[in-house]
Amino acid sequence: MKSVNTILLIDDDDTTNYLNHRLLTRLQASPDIRVVTNGDEALDYLEKAFAGVADYPQPDLIFVDIKMSVMDGFEFLEEYQKFNNIHKSKTVMLMLTSSASFYDLEKLKGFPDVRKHYSKPLAEADVREIMNEYF
């Protein structure tokens, strides 16, 4: 299976982060898996990554939960759209959700940076599909 340099998980649920991190590690999807627990932390991380700060590698793949405290996935996406397209073009953005409501899925269509959504936690078949389709 292919791998990428850095994956960023954005989710406020510790159990989901643990399960996703464990699966991605077991499948050797990336040697560097970063975890932040809300959209605000993710924006801070990405600002540093896009500015070239050494300890903040730009993620090749980002998983974002829709429902989070502090700043949810949609609020994060609103701010993410303001980043330079040159930086964003090097990153695959996927949404994670535990409840794929029709409203949420329709709203996602308004964010062209999001390639697809997946149910959480990730399954092995999901990771294999993602790595084959996007990398």
Residue-wise pLDDT tens digits, 33-77: 999 999 999 999 999 999 999 999 999 999 999 888 888 899 999
Q: Does residue 109 or residue 51 have the better pLDDT? A: 51
CATH number reported for the structural domain that contains residue 53 in this entry: 3.40.50.2300
Q: Is the pLDDT of residue 105 over 90?
A: no
The pLDDT assigned to 135 comes to 95
Q: Is the pLDDT of residue 100 over 70?
A: no
Q: What is the DSSP string of 73-87?
A: HHHHHHHHTTS-HHH
- Give residue 16's Cα distance to chain centre: 13
- Report yes or no on 29 lying in a domain: yes
Say how many domains are in the chain: 1
Range(s) of the domain holding residue 30: 6-134
- Report yes or no on 1 lying in a domain: no
Query: Quick count: other Cβ atoms within 10 Å of Cβ 102?
Result: 7
Q: What is the pTM of this model?
A: 0.94
